[in-house]
Amino acid sequence: MGFFDRLQNIDRRVLYLLLILAVGLPLIFSAPVPAPAVLPPTRSFYDTVEALANDPVRRNKLVILSANFSSSTAAESLTQTDTVMRHLMRRKLKFAIFDFVDPQGRELAQQTAEKLQNQYGYVYGRDYVNWGYRPVGAAVPTVKAMVRDIPAAIGRDITNTPLTEIPVMEGVKGVNDIAAVIEVTGSASLPVWIGYFQRTGREPVPTLFCTTAVQGPEAFPLLKSGQLQGMLVGLQGAAEYEVLLKEPGFATRGSASLSYAHFLILALIILGNVSMLLSRSRSSGSGTGGTR
């Protein structure tokens, strides 16, 4: 068997090993990969949060961080939550964690907040609150009720404390006291906020979207129509956000990991096709020579 034939018959275990190295090494070690270019949806997301922080009225309102995801999309959704939460804490914006898709979302977002709170001087109850989880069937009635009376619609936080007794909820009654909604999800939960919450107050509530890469294309029409004020798409969107924050983290390493994996796959495709063509060319030449 010639060299080119062997290239077409590489043991699949070798290919798996190469892929593991391409994916894993950038996550462990700092990989030399250029910073990702920041696309307009990510820039718009960042600028909207900055505008809230610089607005003397809206900066004192509450941001709803809707953590509608589970561990199945944590690589994207939890990474997005981490980088967005860093921005909120850096700019001293108050926020409430809320979840109506999977109970894991409230827990994963809470763990992220607890991981970051000491770094940014945040305290639970004073600077942020976790409203907990509501079943999917109760999502629409709850969000509709929140328009007029959030404490009554939610009732208690995850510590079973009435919202009316939590300092960060002081002055927060309904939709007019909400600065923005940030929806982080791997499911189709965004329409609940757009349909029942976004335009029911005196002013439209800015809506920001963190979505998985596979769902991103479906949301671009909402972004173009102005129903979304910004969007992070997948792990790449989180990496772009880290560029804007100047805080490289897991998303940046993960983006490098994806880049190296893509480079490897492209290289193997090219190598396989080139070796196949050369192998056929040699076989054709040998056949012709034998006939003569």
Give the residue-averaged pLDDT of 13-19. 82
- The structure tokens 């960060």 sit at 168
- Collect all residues with Cβ–Cβ distance below 8 Å to 182 and sequence separation of at least 6: 63, 64, 65, 66, 84, 208, 209, 210
Hey, what CATH topology would domain 40-247 get? Rossmann fold (3.40.50)
**Selected residue with higher pLDDT from 277 and 218:** 218
Would the pTM of this model clear 0.85, i.e. be above it?
Answer: no
Nearest Cα residue to 110 out of 125, 91, 130:
130
pLDDT of the residue at 272: 77
State the CB neighbour count (10 A cutoff) for residue 46.
Answer: 21
Amino acid type, 62: L
In contact, 41 and 232? CB cutoff 8 Å: yes
C-alpha–C-alpha distance, residues 81 and 69, integer Å: 10
pLDDT of the residue at 4: 59
Distances in Å between the Cα of 133 and the Cα atoms of 100, 108, 220, 226, 272 are 5, 12, 28, 29, 50
Confidence band for 142, pLDDT divided at 50, 70 and 90:
very high
Distances in Å between the Cα of 170 and the Cα atoms of 6, 56, 133, 152, 164 are 71, 17, 21, 14, 7
C-alpha–C-alpha distance, residues 213 and 221, integer Å: 15
Give the residue-averaged pLDDT of 131-159. 93
pLDDT of the residue at 257: 66
